[in-house]
Amino acid sequence: MDIEKEIEIIKERNERVESDKAWETSWTRRIFIVAVTYVVALSWMMLIHETIPYLKAVVPVAGYILSTLSLPVVKKWWVEKYHR
């Protein structure tokens, strides 16, 4: 392979990696996961005849949102402490 072809392959890979990273941190992804989690939890709670299922299905969703909001803080702490 010539150098120009290798550089082009590296650029394409970098673009894919950047797109994947953008998706992983996007609010679109988070909102989609929240919606799916809520629907699944709500369906289960209705299936087992849980009382106030619409409210109780919020619990796993809230846990997910809190975990995604705390991850940048935890990541920063981890990088500073362990990855230097």
Q: Could you give the 3-state DSSP secondary structure of residue 50?
A: coil
Provide the domain limits for residue 61: 3-82
- What is this structure's pTM? 0.76
User: Across residues 42-53, what is the average pLDDT?
Assistant: 97
| Domain tally, the chain | 1
Query: What CA–CA distance (Å, rounded) separates 53 from 41?
Result: 8
Q: What pLDDT does 22 receive?
A: 93
Q: What is the pLDDT of residues 2-45, one digit of tens each?
A: 999 999 999 999 999 999 999 988 999 999 999 999 999 999 99
User: Across residues 37-56, what is the average pLDDT?
Assistant: 97
